[in-house]
Every structure is written in structure tokens, then in C-alpha cells.
Amino acid sequence: MTRLFCALAAAMLAVPTEGADNYVGGYLLVQDVQQLKVLASKASTLPVNRMWLSFVSPTMLYVNGSHTLVGTGLNLTAAADGGFAEVQQYVKQLEAGGVETFLSMGGWNYNCYPYLYMRYSVGGYGTSTPNYWKIQEFGGGSVSGCTKGNQYCYVCEPPSQHTSLDKSFSIFPEPAHSASWKAAKEYVTSGANGVAPQWNENMIPGQQWTDPKTGIATLVPGMTAYLAAGRNPYEDIVHLAKDLGCAGVDVDYEEMWHADTFKTGTGPWDLQQTVYKYAAILKNVEATMRMVAPKMKLSTAAGAVGAWGGNWWGGNLKGVWLKVNQAYPDLMSFMASGANSGGVNVMTYDLSSNEQYHECPQPGVCQLDQQ
């Protein structure tokens, strides 16, 4: 059991929601369906009462009632259904044993665009970023040395992980063909304060996207089947969670590359465009839940610096959740209070005391208890 709970990867501070029973849980990085089988068999004695099954891809495809994990990014077995029937069985056991299960979309690899993360996050602030050593080691100290051949200096994952540019990474797409996505954009635009949203619907998984700042064209990471099928992943995750019998869905949004690529200002900068994108994703999921599974809960994984105000110097998602709460309080309250509240789960392992890289709330406020 100890080994399995070490696999509760990216364990987070699960903050009890208003008016809800206390809970403790973690994100289970499901790499083998046997992990879930063992946990389900001990459900009533587990030291957790909530578990996030992770991760499905933001470019997933699932047709309601199809009962397959193939095409979701969480294909666990060689069976024709990718392990759906087994996962459904174990979710039922977990729920019966008092462990609420959530299906999580995202995770680090399913948030990483290698080229843009290299160019504008790791290599976007001179040599003064915590991971610039990757550019020094694999790119000879220059971003121009970070190419497709070395997965852009392996900024998303090291060589030891044997990742593939074509299959291992993804962005959260902007599905322009979807009516519910259009409605989510309209909602965000109606609440925009000062800065107009700038969408990037031409950034399509499986297609070339040209960086207007450098003229470099790269393949946008992510699966493409949802496009051919005319589906929307932000709808499909709700359908899949419902068919699996999950109590809720989770949005684990960590697109730091987006904030650094589309920032405005001259330093300190503003990441309002990322606030808009994240808000639209949440709204799209929430609206689908209201239609498809009105009793389902919604949670999110929030960056440790996400609620901070003050200057943003790049390289993280500082202030995103604060700004969403200020501009779209109903979105945050849907997750934080009431019958649909799944909680805002803070990734406390992201906290840092490094003032050199502006990673403290403010100068001199760096001790963990202060943060």
C-alpha cells in the first residue's frame, strides 16, 4: 500500500469547500489499472476520502455512451475498450467505500508546448530562469540550439522519460467549431475588464503554427481525433466522467508557456490573456455539467502562487486564480461552495523561496509560513 500511495503523484493541499465535509485526497497518476484495482479493494480502509484519477488529455475524444478509454489519453490496457470496464468497476468500488473519485484533465505533459515553453518561459528572460541550465546543456547556451531534434532542449521532460513530441504533450485547445466553446468565449468577453480577449483558435493540435515573433513554425502538440469528429474535449470529459460513475471532474491547468508567450507590458508584465483562456475552459466544462450531469462536482488544481496579487515577472501563473475570482466570481464559487463544489486544490510543492527569480509573494516575504 505504501508504494501505491507514493504514486498519488502531484499530491496537493485539498482545501475543504464551504459548507462541505472535510476531505483529504490526492491525484493518482494512473499508469496501470492494477493500481486502481488494489486501491478499490481497500477502499473502506484508505486514509483518503477523495481521489483524482489523472490524467486525460485536453485533446481527448469521447462519445457519450461509447464506453472506451481509447482516444482519451488515459488508455490503460490492451483491451478493445482501453480498460474502461475495469476502471468503471473500480470507481464503483471506491465510491461505495467512501472515496469520491474525480476525473482530471491536464497534468504537466498535457499542458506543455515544448517550443513555446522553451522560447518564452525557460529562455524568455535571459539566463535568469531556474531551468535555463537545460538550454546551456542541450542547446549550447542558446535558444537557437534548442530544436525539434532535442525536443527543444528537453524543457518539458528529460531524455530519461523517452517522450515523443508527437504523442507525449498537449495544449488546452480552443475548439472554434464548438457552439459551447463560443458561448464560453462570449461569457468571458462580457466580463472582460479593460483588456479585450485575444483568442488563438489558429493554434490547432496536429497542425503547424507559426510564431509571429520569430517566424518559426512548429507542430502544435496534442491529439487530433476530436477535430475530425467535431467534438469538444471540454464536453467530452464530463460525458466520460458520468459514464465511469465519477463524482466530479477536475481541470488541472498549467500552461505557463501561454502566459509567457502572450504576456503584455514591459516588465512587470500582465497575463490577462491566460486568465481569459482558463476562465473560458472552466465555463465550458461548467456549462456542460449543468446540462449533462447537474449533480457532478467541479474542482481545479491551482498554482501555489495563483492567489497572489502584485507584480508578475513571468515564469509561472501568479495571480491567475485571483484574477478569475475578481472578474468571474461565479466560476470560482461554483467550485468553492454549494452542491457542485469540488474544491480549489493548491499545488503547494510549487512554493519557492528564491528571490532571484521573483518567486516570493513580495521581497522579503519568503518563509513558508509567510507564504
55-106 tens-digit pLDDT: 999 999 999 999 999 999 999 999 999 999 999 999 999 999 999 999 999 9
pLDDT band at 2 (very low <50, low <70, confident <90, very high): very low
pLDDT band at 310 (very low <50, low <70, confident <90, very high): confident
Residue 356's pLDDT is 67
Residue 193's pLDDT is 82
pTM for this one? 0.92
Q: Which residues of 247-276 are buried (b: 16+ CB within 10 A; e: fewer)?
A: bbbbbbbbbbbbbbbbbeeeeebbbbbbbb
Of 123-127, 181-185, 235-239, least confident by mean pLDDT is 123-127
Residue 254's pLDDT is 96
Residue 351's pLDDT is 62
**125 pLDDT higher than 70:** yes
Residue 357's pLDDT is 62
Segment 254-268, tens digit of pLDDT: 999 999 999 999 999
Residue 290's pLDDT is 98
Residue 245's pLDDT is 98
Residue 3's pLDDT is 31
Residue 186's pLDDT is 98
Residue 70's pLDDT is 97
